[in-house]
Amino acid sequence: MSKDTPSYEQARDELIDVVRALEAGGATLEESLALWERGEALAKVCQQWLDGARARLDAARPDDEPDTDD
């Protein structure tokens, strides 16, 4: 993820705004499409952050006992 990628919180908060705007309607077709694309991009960024975090967590795991998901 490049340096200027928004932080997880920034991406998630903007995504929330995009969804709210889309659901409110009233945007032009062009704007709606642009909003939707922005939403998808933000969602991908969030997912990358979460996957990255999980990977780092698992990376630190080797010497522990396996994760006991209760």
Number of H helices, E strands in the chain: 2, 0
Q: Which of 5, 7, 10, 16 binds another protein (CB under 8 A)?
A: 16
Residue 33: CB minimum distance to another protein, A: 8
Q: Which of 1, 53, 59, 62 binds another protein (CB under 8 A)?
A: 53
CB atoms within 10 A of CB 18: 20
Q: Which residues contact 70 (CB under 8 A, 6 or more apart)?
A: none
- Residues in contact with another protein by the rule CB under 8 A: 8, 12, 15-16, 19, 22-23, 29, 32-33, 36, 39-40, 43, 46-47, 50, 53-54, 57, 60, 64, 67
